[in-house]
Amino acid sequence: MKIDFSTLRPVTLEDRELFDEKLAVLASQSCECSFANLFMYQQPYGLEFVEAGDRLVVYERHARTIHYPIGKWTTPEELKEIIDAFNAEGLTDGGIYDVPEEFLDKHSDCDAFFELEFDEGAIDYLYSIDKIATFAGPKLRKKHNLVKQFQTNWPYAEVRKITREEIPAAAKLAADLNSRLEPCEFLEEEALALDRAWKNFDELGLGGIILYAEPGYPAGLSVYSHLPSDTVDVHFEKADHTVKGAPQTLTWQLAIALRGKAKFMNREQDMNEESLRHAKRSLDPERFFKRYFLRSL
């Protein structure tokens, strides 16, 4: 497969229509296929892309790897051609990320072309929006108790849609909550992504809510965008854990806001962090998006 690497370029806002067109061909629930994510994290990850026939291939320059092509399904042979082309340019070491489990199910001969790697911390957690909105099931009923405590303690609480007027409050809250955490590379990367989100909120098709415990006291925020399927991807969700029940109320209110607009909520990966894994599993996920890393043999 011939790829013109002179056209390899960073992801920009102007590319959104092109990505939407290709993503519509094969709707994916992967958070890595969210154009908003690709644009917001372009700088910290060095995200670029190039056209490969009628598909788009995302390249992470900092990690020296490519993502599974966006567009119609490939065969193992086509996928190997793409990997080999990037490898011949000295851009990768022969690996490809975000390969859907469905691709492996379709091609039982994959192990003849690739070495397969799986990281449990890299799976996406997907939840039923209706179940969270109605607290269906024993796991979610426990969350309901915390929501009722929040409602009792904060009778004047309200939820506001994130509009251009609310962005300064949302940005300040996100920065304040992150400042309470131990500094790390992830927070530095997220700060760059958040800055792009606030500056390009409407252009990226982002939506979100802010939970106020009382007027003038924001206690949580969620930012999301729609994937080209029946799924929304929750990019950022932050709550003040000193306000009992605020995290659970925020998630519940987001589900209420999204009812009728999507079926599933992708709350992304746990990155092998035990506390994060426990929190995600306690929300009773409906399904998982399992991704694999393939390396050419």
Distance CA 264, CA 279 (A): 18
236-270: per-residue pLDDT in tens?
999 999 999 999 999 999 999 999 999 999 999 99
Residues 102 and 131 in one domain: no
Distance CA 170, CA 162 (A): 8
Instruction: Give, as one character, the DSSP assignment of residue 90.
Output: T
Query: Which residues does residue 191 pair with via DSSP β-bridges, in sequence order?
Result: none
What is the per-residue pLDDT for 229? 80
Q: What is the CATH number of the domain that holds 52?
A: 3.40.630.30
What is the per-residue pLDDT for 297? 87
What is the per-residue pLDDT for 11? 97
Which secondary-structure segment (H or E) carries 46?
none
Residues 114 and 193 in one domain: no
Question: In terms of Cα–Cα distance, which of 265, 279, 277 is closest to 127?
Answer: 265
204-242: per-residue pLDDT in tens?
999 999 999 999 999 999 999 999 889 999 999 999 999
What is the per-residue pLDDT for 94? 84
The mean of the pLDDT values for the chain is 96
Mean pLDDT on 53-59: 96
Residues 19 and 34 in one domain: yes
Instruction: Give, as one character, the DSSP assignment of residue 286.
Output: S
The two tokens of residue 238 are 């932050």
Distance CA 80, CA 296 (A): 7
Question: In terms of Cα–Cα distance, which of 180, 146, 167 is closest to 250?
Answer: 146
3-class SS of residue 100: strand
Residues 140 and 24 in one domain: no
Does residue 295 form part of some domain? no
Which of 96, 122, 148 finishes a domain?
122
Is the distance from CB of 250 to CB of 132 less than 8 angstroms?
Answer: no
Number of domains in the chain: 2
Domain span at residue 20? Answer: 5-122
Burial class (CB in 10 A: 0-12, 13-18, 19+), 246: buried
Residues 110 and 148 in one domain: no
Residues 15 and 83 in one domain: yes
What is the per-residue pLDDT for 2? 86
Mind spelling out the 3-state secondary structure of 144-170?
HHHHHHHHHHCCCCEEEECCCCCHHHH
Question: In terms of Cα–Cα distance, which of 95, 87, 103 is closest to 30?
Answer: 103
The number of residues in the chain equals 297
For residue 201, pLDDT over 90 is answered with yes
